[in-house]
Amino acid sequence: MYLARTPAILKPLFSDLLWHMPREEQAVYLTFDDGPIPEVTPWVLDQLAEHGAKATFFCIGSNARSYPTILQRILVEGHAVGNHTWDHRQGWGCPDRAYFRSVLKARQWLKTDLFRPPYGKITRSQASALSSRFRVVMWDVLSADFDTRIDGARCTRNVLDNVRSGSIIVFHDSLKAEPRLRVALPEVLRALSVDGFAFRSLHSAKPGTHL
């Protein structure tokens, strides 16, 4: 089960995590999880370039090792990267020591202090320990492009119906999400550009402190 807009009640429970950026500026923060991969990530970068948009890519460490040229392109084009564990490790049910090993192994390839837990599933002890080394990034708008039961139009509505200034929006540059991403991302970029939103990467601003 998931919600396109993160319930406000969750944020105070994990107040040390980053759920959104400051609301004052008319800007949004696109994020892409699970890459980089050659089938999808270069296309995403092309779409962002067409709109002068910056974004943040939460990369799986093993993918970063396998496709260093794509990782380098992400950085050269002015985007941010974040750590998404080495092997897309889920925090719930995973011993802390094994979880931290996966994060630190990915850090060898991803020199960043941004971290997003795969599936958004992280325990309090894991979050507390990682917060001393990383800015742990969640989100407040979920496109749900990973959901094979819906189409790209639904993903587009998930974003446009819930976005606000300062929103951190989740997409996926993965094969599973690709059919819906290729529909939703161009439309979201176009619509939010028309509405006057800027597209920022997470390393370009400080985290928001208000719900």
Catalytic residues, by residue number, are 33, 172
State the CB neighbour count (10 A cutoff) for residue 203. Answer: 16
* DSSP-based three-state secondary structure for 4: coil
- Rounded to 10°, the helix 152-160/178-194 angle is 40
**Residues 116 and 82 sit within 8 Å (Cβ to Cβ):** yes
What is the rounded CA–CA span in Å between residue 63 and residue 164?
Answer: 31
Q: Which residue type occupies 150? A: I
